[in-house]
Amino acid sequence: MINSVFLIGRTLLDKENFYSFIDSRLLYLLNQHGARIDIRNYCAIKNDIIRNRKLQSSNIEELIIQISKALMPVGYEKIILKFILPSIEFAQIHFIYPFDDAKRTLEILSKNFRLLLIDNQDNKILKTLNSHNLGKYFDGCILPSMDRDPNKKNLKLILNMLEITPKEVILIGDRLDSYVQIANKLEIISILLPTYPFNTRVHRNQNDVPTLTLNELSELPDTISAMEQK
Element (H, E) at 91: helix 76-94
Radius of gyration of the chain (CA): 18
**Rounded to whole angstroms, how far apart are CA atoms 182 and 160?**
15
* Full pLDDT tens readout for the chain, 230 residues: 889 999 989 899 999 999 999 999 999 999 999 999 999 999 999 999 988 888 877 789 999 999 999 999 999 999 999 999 999 999 999 999 999 999 999 999 999 999 999 887 567 888 899 999 999 999 988 776 434 555 677 788 888 888 889 999 999 988 877 778 888 888 999 999 988 887 766 667 777 889 999 999 999 999 988 887 76
Architecture field, domain 4-14+97-228: 3-Layer(aba) Sandwich (3.40)
> What residue type is 197 in one-letter code?
P
Residue 29 CA to its chain's centroid (Å): 26
Name the residue ranges covered by the structural domains of the chain: 4-14+97-228, 16-94
Query: Do 138 and 117 meet the contact criterion of CB atoms below 8 Å apart?
Result: yes
| pTM for this model (two decimals) | 0.87
From CA 227, how far away is CA 219, in angstroms rounded? 12
CA 63/CA 68 separation, integer angstroms: 9
